[in-house]
Amino acid sequence: MKNVYFDSAATTQIRDEVVDKMTSVLKENYGNPSSTHSFGRSSKTLIEQARKSVAKILNVKASEIVFTSGGTEADNLALNSAVRDLGVQRIITSKIEHHAVLYTVNQLQNCFDIEVEYVSLDSKGHVDLKDLEERLKSSDSKTLVSLMHVNNEIGNMLDLKKTAQLVKSYNALFHSDTVQSVGHFELDFEEIPVDFTAVSAHKFHGPKGVGFAYVRRNSGLKPLIFGGEQERGHRAGTEGVHNIVGLEEALKLAYQDLDKEQAYVKGLKQHFIDKLKQEIPGVSFNGACEDHTLSTYTLLNVCLPVSQEKALMLLFQLDLKGIACSKGSACQSGSDSGSHVLNAFCSEEDLKKPSLRFSFSRYNTKEEIDYVVATLKDFIES
């Protein structure tokens, strides 16, 4: 049996170079970064070097990078502080955001009685920027807009710069979950006027349990976690030096040959689209998956012509064949309620069919795609 991993949007395979770097730090740089002796100073130096490296890649100040446990914490940090400390009275978001945003917004609405509005989506799940502008015009309340750059289930891409400029033209704050885009696209946060973003290392071949928030200077953001003065007072807790160094190494490697890797993975995605159309009549794609300009090259959300009864066995059968993919988001895979993303814009007819998310990386091959398509074809025709 083959083992085929097409679930990189959930988590990526860690690079060997990252493992080697982290192992070295675990063995040799075990001092507490807050200690003033040489062991502590050595660890602290590695953290600050990593901060500078990350900042340089995104063209921001090192002081604007706050290391966190991952994207969820970074989202929570920005949203909570915006309401609690910055006076935000209204949040505009969309119904296809990651639950790290949606659940946090719901909690803030319950605790602080803020206004929450959901921007309209078109038939492909794209944010309607005209509707966003109308909502920005409609109130003088201090507003934060939270819209993700790349959707983790359908891959739709937001025009981040255009959206940020629109939001700033109405003096609102802008937060964007960039977990699926940092490490996969060139981003210049000095040029794109976003106030807060969230990033997670395990989405670009780094370790789990570490990420960072980009926090624009002089934003007034306050900590979510209290205790020590780590991360310049933004995030208390002894830093995982090996994880932070692993994040740095993974991010540097991601951008080292980005054009080459983009072209390779985009070729895999197109091959998958072509093979599915060729072998499975009636197949369709959710969101804007087929359009490389409107969707990320890293994932494909496929709607299969299968009955609801047969669909119940689909993921199980794929797993038996050694194929890893997702029913929507991995964060939701234990839920029977279906994908909140697809529910937000898909037709009733399409929602009755099974949809699978296949996501790709530099470690995948066309031969693996051919195996997956053949397996899907056999299942549908059996």
Which residues does the annotation mark as catalytic? 331
- Contact residues for 34 (Cβ-Cβ < 8 A; gap 6+): 40, 44, 228, 229, 230, 238
Q: What distance lies between CA 168 and its chain's CA centroid? A: 23
Judge whether 324 and 8 are in contact, CB under 8 Å: no
* Cα–Cα distances in angstroms (integers) from residue 308 to residues 64, 183, 311, 313, in the given order: 48, 37, 5, 10
N- to C-terminal Cα distance for the chain? 19
What is the 8-class DSSP label of residue 14?
A: P
- What is Dmax (Cα atoms) for the chain? 67
| Structural contact between residues 89 and 142, judged by C-beta atoms closer than 8 angstroms | yes
Running DSSP on this structure, what letter comes out for residue 124? T
The rounded Cα 71 to chain-centroid distance in angstroms is 7
Please give the helix or strand (H or E) that residue 22 lies within, else none.
Answer: helix 16-28
What residues contact 141, with CB distance under 8 A and at least 6 apart?
Answer: 89, 90, 115
State which amino acid sits at residue 123.
Answer: S
CA 343/CA 212 separation, integer angstroms: 30
- Strands 143-146 and 90-93 turn out to be parallel
Structure tokens given for 173: 């704050």
